[in-house]
Amino acid sequence: MAGEKQRSLFDDDPLPESPAARSPRAEPVAPAAVAAETHTLAARLPANVHLGTSSWSFPGWTGLVYAPRHGKPESEQRLARGGLAAYAQHPLFGSVSLDRTFYAPLLASEYAAYAAAVPDDFRFVVKAPAAVTDPFKRLGGSGLVSSENPTFLDAATAAAVCVSPAVAGLGAKLGAVVFQFPPLGRSLLADVPQLVARLVAFVAALPRPCSDDLPHGPALALEIRDPALVCEALAAGLLDRGAMPCLAAHARMPPIEAQAGVWRIDRFPLPSPLVVRWNLHAGKEYEGAKQEYFPFDRIVEEDLETRDSLARLVRTQARSGRTVLVTINNKAEGSAPWSVRRLAEAIADGS
């Protein structure tokens, strides 16, 4: 039922409770005070550009996004349960990546609780579960393979546990469903054309439930972590089936502008959005960056190349009338809220 801790499809550890589990009498999470210049910066961004972060439950963001509670940072648990409404009051945050959905499915009612916490022009990027994007089942958070995954590239499972409930619960606030594929391994990559065909067939089989809020159905995007799959064949297959590539700024992947060039983003018709996820600083491993950058309250290592490339791409696509969704991880530069601000400045100053 809504509000209960759920087990993932791979029987991993349960995730934090959803907003539906929050007691109505609980003291709400308060937003941090925001300077007038930040509101001015937000007003300079194109209305069709939605910037945000990957999740929101970081106590280190106290003073940046959240006000302290009784002189102390909010707990991670309280932020996970009740921080979204405060997050969404920040003028630079028009989007967020729902990363918990990668590990465990949500009910439509849980998505609806998230939608109720944010303004009408806010957009969610929903990560589809690893249960359909990982060729292997893994043990807990270790990443160790336990067995092959029988629901890998299973469109019916993807529809049932992610696409349909996200559409029903989020409605017009659903920006895109992103299918993030991990590195797929030597066996699958030994025959790239065959793998591309399987990915395209998966997208073709995905249902596109429509509604009054989403007359064209949900936007679907594929995010890959294997450079060999940044190819014309996959781009053409996605184009033919009404899906988009999700650009991934990640240590494993080519630079953002190189990806955009191969994918030829301009040929994808409106209303397909541009979806970008700035995940990990070049040359870093995820766990190492997490330890080095914690508690995520400041920029530790700037990535000016990625930032400038993103700013140029966002400006170009926004001018074409395309909705742009950019979400940033703390592991990109050290603090996702600061990275959002610096990117917003680069976008606005170059316009």
What integer best gives the mean pLDDT of the chain? 91
pLDDT at 120 over 50: yes
Written as six digits, the tokens of 91 are: 């003028």
Task: Round to whole Å and give the CA distance between 157 and 172.
Answer: 23
Cα R_g (the chain), whole angstroms: 19
Confidence of residue 212 (pLDDT cuts 50, 70, 90): confident
CB 293 within 8 A of CB 300: yes
Task: Round to whole Å and give the CA distance between 202 and 219.
Answer: 15
CB 176 within 8 A of CB 220: yes
Written as six digits, the tokens of 2 are: 């809504």
Query: In angstroms, what CA-CA distances link 286 with 213, 309, 331?
Result: 37, 22, 7
Poorest-confidence range of 5-14, 37-46, 120-129?
5-14
CB 330 within 8 A of CB 293: yes
Once rounded to an integer, what is the mean pLDDT over residues 2-26? Answer: 42
Those residues whose C-beta lies under 8 Å from the C-beta of residue 103, and which sit 6 or more positions away, are: 8, 12, 15, 129, 130
**Reported pTM:** 0.91
pLDDT at 7 over 70: no
pLDDT value at residue 9: 39
Q: Which residue shows structure tokens 């007003």?
A: 43
CB 329 within 8 A of CB 278: yes
Q: Please give the domain boundaries of the chain with CATH numbers for all domains.
A: 19-349 (3.20.20.410)
